[in-house]
Each structure stands twice: as C-alpha cells, then as structure tokens.
A and B are shown apart, each in its own frame.
Chain A
Amino acid sequence: MALVSLIITKEGKESVRVLEGGDLETLDAQIEAIKASGEADDVKPVFMSIERADFSRREFLKRTAYTFAAALILPTFSSCAPSLQQSAEKILLSDPTVKWNKSTCRFCGVGCGVMVATKAGTVVAVAGDEKNPVNKGLLCVKGYHLPSILYGSDRLKKPLVRKNGELVETSWDEALSLVASKLSETLQTKGPRGVAFYGSGQWTIQEGYAASKFMRAGVKSNHLEANARLCMASAVVGFLLSFGKDEPMGPYDDIEKTDNYVLWGNNMAEMHPVLFSRMLERRKKASHVKIVDLSTRTTRTSQASDLHILFKPQSDLAIANGIANLLIEKNKIDKDFVSKHCNFSAGKEDIGYGLEDKFAFKKESRKLSFEEYAAYVAEYTPQRVEEISGVSPKNLATLAEIYGDPNSGVVSFWCMGVNQHTRGTWMNNLINNLHLLTGKISKPGNNPFSLTGQPSACGTVREVGTLAHALPGGRKVTVPDHRADVEKAWNVEEGTIPDWVGYHTVEMFRAVDRGEIGWMWIQTTNPMVSMPKLGRYLKAMEDRKTFLVVSEVYPTPTSAVADVVFPTNLWVEKEGCFGNSERRTQQWDAIATPPGEAKSDLWQIIEVAKRMGWHHLFEGNHPEEDLYEEYRQLTLGRGKDVAPYETLKKTRGMRWPVVDGKETLYRYRGGEDPYVPDGEDVYFYGKPDGKAVIWARPWEPAPEIPDEDYPLWLCTGRVLEHWHTGSMTRRVPELHGAMPKGFIEIHPEDATLLGIQDGQEVRLTSRRGEITLPASIGETARGTPPMGSVFVPFFDESKLVNLVTLDSFCPLSKEPDYKKCAVRVEAV
C-alpha cells in the first residue's frame, strides 16, 4: 500500500490533499477525476512511502507538509525542477522496452565502460559496466550524470549561418553549400596553407581519420591540429625521444600490482577518480602500499596520500634530477638493465619559451657516456634541489628509496602538471629516466604512465595522427615512405599529401590573427575558452579574420564567433570508437536519437567533401566501420595494430598491439609483446638498436616569474564536477549545482595580507588581461595553494581565466604552460 499526497493547483494557488490507502494502479484515474471535476487545473502526486508498521499517519502528514513547504521555499531546487515539469509518462527501469547497450564514457581519458539504458531512442539511465576491466562497474559523478549532457534545453537543433552579423537558422543544404563555396574561394585566393582544421581528443577515431583525409588528400594542407596539443603533446614527444614510440608501455592492471604510486603534479582524486579509487582499494588491501603526491597545491589527492610533498612551480625538473643523482650516488641503479637497454644523450639547452610568432626550434642531440650523465646530474645535490624546489633532503631521499628499492614496485602517474609545462618534454624524459635507471619499466607493477584528459586523445590524436606533422600509425608527413604508404591506402595520387609540417595549435591561432587563415573548421572543442592568452584570438575571431565553421552541441563562446554552426550529435547519438590512456580501443553503437536536425561530425565532413568533389575519399555505405577498417590496415605491422571492428563490437575493447587476436599488456617485454624479438627480455624496438634513451635535461626557470608588480604565481586547472570548458557539465543539474561558478583559491595568510575574505569578489590581473571572480579561502575551498600562489579552474566561460594566462609553450612539444604565470590579486 502506498501513501500518496496530491498537490492541487487551482488558478495559481496550491494546496495539499492527502490520499491514503491508494492503489497505485488507480491513481492516474483518480487524478483525472479530480481534474475533470474542475477542482484543479493541475494535480501532482507526491509519493511518500510503502507503508511501514512504525510509520504513523500523523508522521506522514508532517512529512508531506515538509515536502510541500520545501517545494515552495526552494522553487529552483535542482531535482525538483525537472520532476515538477514532467507531465510525460513515467519511465520505469523494469519496462521491457528499455534496452541496455555498452558504451564508453564521453569525458576523460580513463575510458570507463558505461551501460546505457534507452527507451525509444532516449537515454533514461546509465550504470557502470561491470564487464569492463577499466572501471569494474564503478563510475565517477560525471559519468553517472552522462545522460543529462544530451538533454539541455538549448541543444543546437538546426544549422546556423551568420547574416547581417547575426546567426540565423538555415537548411543543411544552404549551410553546407556556403561552407564548400567559401573553402573553394579560400583555396583560390590563399591556397591550401590558408585552410585549417582544428579538432580534439573527443573526436572519435573515425572522425579524426576522416578529418585527416579531408585535409591531407582533399585540401592538401597539413594545418590539421587537435586540442590534445594543449594537453598531452609533451608526453608524446617525451615518449618518442625516450623510446622511439609513443604511449605508455603498461596497463591499468599495474594499479593492483604495484607497491608505490608517485603522482607528479596530478590530482587524480578529482581528474581520474575511477583510477584513484582503484588505488585506494589496493592500498586498503595491502597496507604497505604508498601514495606519494608531489604537487604545487594541496588537493583531495594530497589529503588521501601517505606523503605529500609541495614543491615550487617549475622545480619538478630539479627534483627528478635530484632523485637520479641519489640513485647513482647510493648505487641503486640497475646496472645490468642500463648497460643492456639504455643509451645516454643530451640535447639543446636554454631553448626559449615560444612567446614570439613563428618561433622556430630544431632538435639536436649528442650521445653521452654513463659517466658524463652521472656528472651532469651530480650538480643536483639534495641541498641544491632544496634551494630550487623547497623539497627537503629527507623527502628527496624517500623518493629515491621508492624508485631505488629493487624489491618494491613503482608506478609514476602524471598528466597536466608535467605536460602543460614550458619544459614538458624534458620533464617527461626525466620521469622516464627514473624507470630506466632502475629497470622498473615494462614489467608488472613498474611503469611510467602518462594519463590523458580526453576520451580519445590517444586513440584519435596520437594514433590516427591528427596533428600537424603526423599521419596514421605513427607516421610523419616529412618522411616520403610514410606519405607513400598512406597515399596508397587512400588510393590517391603520389605526391598528394604535402611534405611540410603544418601549424601547431598556438601558431595556428596566431596565424588566424595574422590574417593568414581564410577558412577554418572547429569540431568537438571550445578554443574560445581554452586557448591561453585568449584575448588575442577572441579579438581575431570577432574581427572576422577567418571564415569560421563550428560543429557544436550547445552554444559556446566558440560557436558565438562562427560564420556557420553545424548542430552535432553527441556521445551515443552516433557510432564510433575511442582509444583510452592504456591503449584500449573501445566501440559503441548509435542508440539515442539526436535532437532536431543534428548530424554527426563524420557525416558533416563527408558532406562537405562531397560538395568539394572529393567523393573518392569517402566511399562505402557504413563509414564508421569502413573508415575504421581502412585505418586499421595502416596500423598493422607498425606496433600499433588495433583490433578488428567486429572484435571491438563484441568486447570491452582491446589494448594494442593486437596481433593474432591477442592484446598486449606490457609493451617491449619479451613473451608479452609480439614485436620483441625472440630471446630478448626487454627490447625498445622504437629505437634502431633497441635501446631507450636516458636524457640529460636541466632545470631552467619559467618564462614569467612573480615580481613586484605581479607578485603571485597563477596555476589553472580543473575540478571533479566539470569537464573542460563546462559546455556539457554546466548543463547537468547535479554537477552545476555542486560547482556553480569559477573561483580563485588564495592561501588564507595571503588573503589576510590582501584584505580579502572568503566569497569576496576579487580582480585577477596579469600582463595579458584581467577578470573578476569570487575568492575561495579556507575550509570551503576545494584546494589550498601555498603562500605566493593562487589557483583558478577554467570551466566557467563567464570568468575566462585564459584572458590572463600566458601563451608560452614547450619548444619541443609546442604544448602551452597553463600552470605558471605571474599575476596580481586585489579586492574589487
């Protein structure tokens, strides 16, 4: 028996009536009867409980009154709003027409498996996929609220074109024809170098591959980039220089096999929550397991760690070298491993910061002997490291013991702290060095592991190669044989793919400002929130210096400056594949109906290509499968062999290289990786002699350091609840309700000195620009920066912190440093 009260609305006034002993089956009829009697304009049932022995009628009435009072007090209470609005039929999970399908999370690079429940093409629930070994049935709060990202009321449903300065609705045919004619016009006036395409690690593999064909074989331009340049390019170049091949060698399985996690500037509790909870469970089961958090700010990760080591911005370079020095000094290196599997090299130093347009850098390297390398790192004595970093000799020694103990496993995790760094490539090399020096690599429980922030930064950007220099399967545009391979697979004439390296992301947007780019297409990303030194690029777009096409799901600051906006399918509204951080390629089917006239990014690329006369690039009836299989051929034999499409449909993904139907957990390890020659225990086959490189890399200061005018360091980043620029998560009631606006974290003592209190509006100013936002100080703050520094998340498009940041970048990887610049903070 159910207890039910009814909220009766008549001419705007509400009253409560209690129905008791109601049979749920007849409730609808009763409500209809009240409406028909004219007593009410609207009747809403409030279900209270299944009757219980201890649940008196009096108590029930009281609770009903509370419920009703709260409904009046909190008219905007997040979860009330939708349920009070809903007059539609209730959907029960037990409904036989509700179907469950597997999918992959749309958010970060962890790549959790998600079971998605749909009814008649509408997503009504999700659950963690228990069959998926990545997350074993658990998600994070963002993943659990995936369904709502599809259902914001302002989804883009029709193509828009700019007419008389305003974006107005139009037909697909008009929008596509306009885009194609402007592309033809730009090709005539500026040539292929006047055309650019900018995507992201949220492209499916198929979309990124299609964009690559569109640009290299259609437009014949290499100005193809993806926002992963802003997020993991330093890891790519780091892996390439250390091992000759990109991407981590180990799997997530190491989390359950290792004894120590060393987190380098990586707030995993908020950014990779599912992996972090796997670590916490491992530590609970094995009490000797330690989490060491190296960071420039106290976070939830620091709170959960066994050892939290705060260091000064940019000084991670000195810390890593200091550990290497102690390993050598204490005779903790694996000499046999190093002599068999490693070379030593040094590169160019004092390499600049990319602050000027058309910044040029050419890599150089020279071989070192072990003795020369040892002498190089010997300068990083514990005392010098402490001077640079603030890390005590005791903590440095602890780190050296963790890396140096031959009986104890260690996994190093890192993400944006190391990668978004003007010396990001060096820092990647330095972490790889620690694993090479100790032989703690390519074996269970021991690996360097760079995490990614996007669902397919690895699968699409790194593996398909949607960067200005890259081609599928780890090939490069500058290598004639590589271009020939790809031209053959695409069935295009020899010489079609240009041999010049296109503009990397920062330079691409600078080129827009210089007026060089006449036509640009942006898909699956929101650079008018995420570019550093944003003011320059926003102005260039507002000045209409390029014809801008934006494929989007919601209105964003990027779509606001477009000439044409294509309404686009999101997540399970389309079919595709993502590749996660552990080399796992996963597939899902289109199971939800897109809104209005929205179409997939892939369909859009193919339709524009057809209007350009490039039909030959996209033949076949099932582009998602056909393009994937075509791409797969380009991965075979390259050490990046991805699994067949049919296999991906049936499994929860496979980790490449997949050879003879078997995935690879540990790359470069004999008996595990089919590319390792027989008889070798470890073989780094990315290098001609099978030896990885230990790089001598120095500490060098950051380009902009706090001074009298701008006395504080600014670090930008993310929060658990929001994903990237918030264009999806800020439309989810539970997520937005939990984190409604951007803020600036200030150390309590700095705040006192500045006369600023928690919640007070403050002005944040750098040499580039200024914004105002509320201060977050003390107990209510998400994290605590040390004195002398502040932290601002970048998810809130109404508080664009990138108007303040600096567009310096790592000269090797071209990845900008969002973590360090000098600012001033004052009460407004």
Chain B
Amino acid sequence: MRRIFLVVTTTLLLGGCGDGGDPRPGTRAYAGAPPTIPHQVESLGRGNCLGCHGAGLEVSLDGDKQRGPETPHPNQLSCRQCHVVSSGESVAFGHTIFQGALPGKGGNRSHPIAPPLIPHPLQNRKECLSCHGDLGDLKAPTSSHQDRLSCSQCHIPLNPELGAWLPPK
C-alpha cells in the first residue's frame, strides 16, 4: 500500500502523464492554471499549507525525494480558493475535449551563452526561487546562481511580440 501511495504521489508531484513543455501538466489544466493539490488536505480546518509550502520542504521516502515547493505568491492567503484536491474522478457526463495551451518551449537563448528566456506565464509567480531554487519544483530547472537576486535583470519573457502570450497589462 505504501508503495502504491508513493508511486501515486511521486507521479503527481512529478506531473503525472507528462506532456510537451509544461512542467506539471498532470496537475494543471493549461499553462498558468493553478495546479491541483496532489495530496490530501483538511477539508474544513484553517489549513496550514504554509507549514510546508511557506519556506519549502524536502523529504526523502525510500531514498526518493519529494518536495513541497515554496509558494510563488506568499501575499495570497486563501490557498484553497484556487487549489483543490483532485479525487481522480474525471467528469460527471461524457468527457472533456478541452485542450489547454502549454507554455512556450523552454531554454530559448539568442546565442549559446545568453541567458534563457522565460517560457511560462508570470502571473502569480512573483518568487522565481520558489520553483527554481534548491527546494523548488523538481521539474523546474534549478538556478545555478541563486545568490543573484534580480532574476528579471537577465531573464525576460519570450518576446511578447512573437505572440501576445501574457495578458496585456
């Protein structure tokens, strides 16, 4: 049982089925959608999401790392307003034919040593290191230079002129 639990939770943490480009497609309907919660949480209660997701947390089960990434939007206080636990049941009627957009392809650089462009929406992602830090999302690239704190000095979103891919301000 523990093994199955581990497999399932690992899968969910890692992004389930996987799909091109999106770091965690298994828990998001489309790029920029709030991920569903891949573990049980109190249904009522005040919840203590920040207990793990405040500063980020890494645990090791059977040598396999699992992370509770730091929230990228610590200013927002009503976690379960957007994040829900998915039971695995699909829909009540028929099936969905919605195909969500994925973020742009990662790692684009104008030349081999240029800083890569940011391939995903930035809304509600105010803290880059919450995903790209040491305790960040296992599927996001970890920054090799976390001591430099001004990320947007070098990394900019994929050229918005290539597509109005971020909502206009």
**Within 8 Å of chain A (Cβ to Cβ): is B152?**
no
State whether A779 touches B42 (Cβ < 8 A): yes
State whether B78 touches A153 (Cβ < 8 A): no
**Within 8 Å of chain B (Cβ to Cβ): is A300?**
yes
The segment from A47-55, A165-173, A218-226, A416-424 found at the interface with B is A47-55
**Within 8 Å of chain B (Cβ to Cβ): is A660?**
no
**Within 8 Å of chain B (Cβ to Cβ): is A88?**
yes
Q: Please give, as numbers and ranges, the residues of chain A lying within 8 Å of B102 by CB-CB distance.
A: 90-93
How far in angstroms is the closest Cβ of chain A from B19?
5
Q: Please give, as numbers and ranges, the residues of chain A lying within 8 Å of B8 by CB-CB distance.
A: 70, 73-74
- Cα A100 to Cα B121 with chains together (Å): 13
**Within 8 Å of chain A (Cβ to Cβ): is B95?**
yes
State whether A730 touches B92 (Cβ < 8 A): yes
State whether A148 touches B142 (Cβ < 8 A): no
Q: Please give, as numbers and ranges, the residues of chain A lying within 8 Å of B86 by CB-CB distance.
A: 78-79, 733-734, 737-738
**Within 8 Å of chain B (Cβ to Cβ): is A735?**
yes
**Within 8 Å of chain B (Cβ to Cβ): is A124?**
yes
State whether B46 touches A303 (Cβ < 8 A): yes
**Contacts A79-B16, A79-B27, A730-B93 known; A141 to B83 CB distance under 8 Å?**
yes
State whether A129 touches B167 (Cβ < 8 A): yes
Cβ 8 A contact of B94, one of A115, A153, A284, A298:
A153
State whether A737 touches B103 (Cβ < 8 A): no
State whether B16 touches A740 (Cβ < 8 A): no
The segment from A274-282, A369-377, A389-397, A668-676 found at the interface with B is A274-282
Closest to A797 in B: B92
Contacting A at CB under 8 A, from B69-88, are 75-78, 80-88
State whether B97 touches A84 (Cβ < 8 A): no
Q: Please give, as numbers and ranges, the residues of chain A lying within 8 Å of B77 by CB-CB distance.
A: 277, 280-281, 284
State whether B84 touches A735 (Cβ < 8 A): yes
**Within 8 Å of chain B (Cβ to Cβ): is A71?**
yes
State whether A153 touches B121 (Cβ < 8 A): no
**Within 8 Å of chain B (Cβ to Cβ): is A24?**
yes
State whether B91 touches A733 (Cβ < 8 A): yes
**Within 8 Å of chain A (Cβ to Cβ): is B146?**
no
Q: Please give, as numbers and ranges, the residues of chain B lying within 8 Å of A128 by CB-CB distance.
A: 123-124
**Within 8 Å of chain B (Cβ to Cβ): is A783?**
yes
Cβ 8 A contact of B100, one of A124, A276, A720:
A124
Write the A526-545 contact mask toward B (1 if CB under 8 angstroms, else 0). Answer: 00000000000000000000
How far in angstroms is the closest Cβ of chain B from A10?
19
Chain B at the A interface: SS class: loop
Q: Please give, as numbers and ranges, the residues of chain A lying within 8 Å of B28 by CB-CB distance.
A: 79
**Contacts A139-B82, A147-B98 known; A66 to B10 CB distance under 8 Å?**
yes
- Cα A516 to Cα B73 with chains together (Å): 57
**Within 8 Å of chain B (Cβ to Cβ): is A591?**
no
**Within 8 Å of chain B (Cβ to Cβ): is A144?**
yes
How far in angstroms is the closest Cβ of chain B from A345?
41
Q: Please give, as numbers and ranges, the residues of chain A lying within 8 Å of B33 by CB-CB distance.
A: 125, 144-145, 734
**Within 8 Å of chain A (Cβ to Cβ): is B135?**
no
Q: Please give, as numbers and ranges, the residues of chain B lying within 8 Å of A782 by CB-CB distance.
A: 43-44
Chain A at the B interface: SS class: mixed
State whether B21 touches A47 (Cβ < 8 A): yes
Cβ 8 A contact of A300, one of B34, B44, B85:
B44
- Cα A733 to Cα B97 with chains together (Å): 10
Say which size band chain A's interface belongs to.
Answer: 35 or more
State whether B44 touches A784 (Cβ < 8 A): yes
**Within 8 Å of chain A (Cβ to Cβ): is B14?**
yes
Closest to A86 in B: B99
**Contacts A76-B88, A141-B82 known; A100 to B17 CB distance under 8 Å?**
no
Q: Please give, as numbers and ranges, the residues of chain B lying within 8 Å of A720 by CB-CB distance.
A: 80-81, 84
- Cα A771 to Cα B161 with chains together (Å): 57
**Within 8 Å of chain A (Cβ to Cβ): is B129?**
no
Cβ 8 A contact of B89, one of A24, A148, A740:
A740
- Cα A659 to Cα B135 with chains together (Å): 54
How far in angstroms is the closest Cβ of chain A from B113?
16
How far in angstroms is the closest Cβ of chain A from B69?
15
Q: Please give, as numbers and ranges, the residues of chain B lying within 8 Å of A115 by CB-CB distance.
A: 167-168
State whether A91 touches B89 (Cβ < 8 A): no
How far in angstroms is the closest Cβ of chain B from A572?
14
State whether B142 touches A79 (Cβ < 8 A): no
The number of inter-chain residue pairs (CB within 8 angstroms) is 302
State whether A125 touches B31 (Cβ < 8 A): yes
How far in angstroms is the closest Cβ of chain A from B95?
5
Write the A83-105 contact mask toward B (1 if CB under 8 angstroms, else 0). Answer: 11110101111111111100000
Closest to A303 in B: B46
State whether B85 touches A738 (Cβ < 8 A): yes
Cβ 8 A contact of A80, one of B16, B64, B100, B139:
B16
State whether A153 touches B46 (Cβ < 8 A): no
**Within 8 Å of chain A (Cβ to Cβ): is B54?**
no
Write the A60-80 contact mask toward B (1 if CB under 8 angstroms, else 0). Answer: 001100110111011011111
State whether B16 touches A82 (Cβ < 8 A): no
Cβ 8 A contact of A82, one of B4, B14, B45, B98:
B98
State whether B100 touches A125 (Cβ < 8 A): yes
Q: Please give, as numbers and ranges, the residues of chain B lying within 8 Å of A281 by CB-CB distance.
A: 75-77
Closest to A129 in B: B167
- Cα A53 to Cα B12 with chains together (Å): 23
How far in angstroms is the closest Cβ of chain A from B148?
17
State whether B88 touches A82 (Cβ < 8 A): no
Cβ 8 A contact of B17, one of A79, A276, A731:
A79
**Within 8 Å of chain B (Cβ to Cβ): is A552?**
no
Cβ 8 A contact of A740, one of B20, B92, B139, B165:
B92
**Within 8 Å of chain B (Cβ to Cβ): is A703?**
no
**Within 8 Å of chain B (Cβ to Cβ): is A309?**
no
How far in angstroms is the closest Cβ of chain B from A122?
8
**Contacts A100-B164, A151-B96 known; A78 to B88 CB distance under 8 Å?**
yes
State whether B19 touches A52 (Cβ < 8 A): no
- Cα A414 to Cα B61 with chains together (Å): 47
How far in angstroms is the closest Cβ of chain B from A481?
46
State whether B16 touches A52 (Cβ < 8 A): no
State whether A93 touches B103 (Cβ < 8 A): yes
Q: Please give, as numbers and ranges, the residues of chain B lying within 8 Å of A304 by CB-CB distance.
A: 46, 78
- Cα A554 to Cα B94 with chains together (Å): 11
Closest to A113 in B: B167
State whether A66 touches B14 (Cβ < 8 A): yes
Contacting B at CB under 8 A, from A290-306, are 298-300, 303-304
State whether A45 touches B20 (Cβ < 8 A): yes
- Cα A273 to Cα B81 with chains together (Å): 6
- Cα A555 to Cα B86 with chains together (Å): 25
State whether B82 touches A140 (Cβ < 8 A): yes
Q: Please give, as numbers and ranges, the residues of chain A lying within 8 Å of B16 by CB-CB distance.
A: 67, 70-71, 77, 79-80
> 3 tightest CB-CB pairs across the interface, nearest first?
A94-B104, A70-B11, A153-B94
Q: List 26 A-B contacts (CB under 8 A).
A: A62-B64, A66-B14, A71-B16, A82-B99, A88-B99, A91-B102, A92-B21, A94-B103, A95-B101, A95-B165, A97-B163, A100-B165, A115-B168, A122-B99, A126-B30, A126-B32, A144-B34, A145-B33, A148-B29, A152-B93, A277-B81, A303-B46, A304-B78, A731-B92, A734-B36, A739-B84
Other A-B pairs beyond A74-B88, A137-B123, A300-B44, 12, CB < 8 Å: A63-B14, A66-B10, A82-B99, A92-B21, A94-B165, A98-B101, A126-B32, A127-B123, A732-B96, A736-B90, A737-B36, A737-B89
The residues of B with any CB-CB pair to A shorter than 8 Å are 4, 7-8, 10-12, 14-21, 25-34, 36, 42-46, 64, 75-78, 80-107, 119-121, 123-124, 139, 141-142, 144, 158, 162-169
